[in-house]
Amino acid sequence: MRVLLAEDDAELASRLAEALGEAGFAVDRAADGRDAEFRGQTEDYDAVVLDLGLPGMDGLSVLDTWRGNGRRMPVLVLTARGRWHDKLAGFDAGADDYLVKPFPIEELVLRLRALIRRSTGHVHPLIECGALVLDDNANRFTLAGEPLALTAQEQRILAYLMHRQGAVVSRAELGEHVYEQGYDPDSNALDVLIGRIRRKIGAARIVTERGKGFRLEALP
């Protein structure tokens, strides 16, 4: 899953980006409101972590602009302010969740996972696709109850397909959602990774729709 991290505190942004990367997210960073607003308008993120105190354009204005232009990605707001009217302003602007600084980074990761699950129609952290199960909170896969050993890239691709199971996912969509901005994997690289995943979960579970993309099937 690809997320935008909009935070101007360089030290905090680095710690958050590292933790999110370790949790399996592809992370793009923005250090000011104008950059965040532009990225959120032009890139298809699975979720956004948005600091309200951004320079150039404050987070509430950024969020209000996104929502006014029909951008619907889940947004987790960060702020140093804990007053109720500040929280209310965030929700009124279209925030989906709220964290007051300081906070445990582990909590941010769990809240972000929950927002993405809900946005794709999954409520429970155990996402099932036949015998294939993703424990979203732990970022672990099992097949018929047995743990799967996946590389970080394989994990990102399979997690995205799990969230979109049953739907045809194009190569372009996969590239947009599992890699950071600026990384452009070629088709051969994706084919190699899909091939490796098929060997681990069974080839029939990932169907190739010729000229369209890939579909994850629920099989016993």
86 and 157 both lie in a single domain: no
Same domain? 76 vs 153: no
The reply to whether 138 and 55 lie within a common domain is no
Range of the domain at 149: 126-216
Residue 92 has pLDDT above 90, yes or no: yes
Q: Is the pLDDT of residue 115 over 80?
A: yes
- The DSSP annotation for 58-112 comes to -HHHHHHHHHHTT----EEEEES---HHHHHHHHHHT-SEEEESS--HHHHHHHH
This prediction has a pTM of: 0.92
Residue 86 has pLDDT above 90, yes or no: no
For residue range 149-203, list pLDDT tens digits in order. Answer: 999 999 999 999 999 999 999 988 998 898 877 566 666 888 899 999 999 999 9
Tell me the CATH number at 148: 1.10.10.10
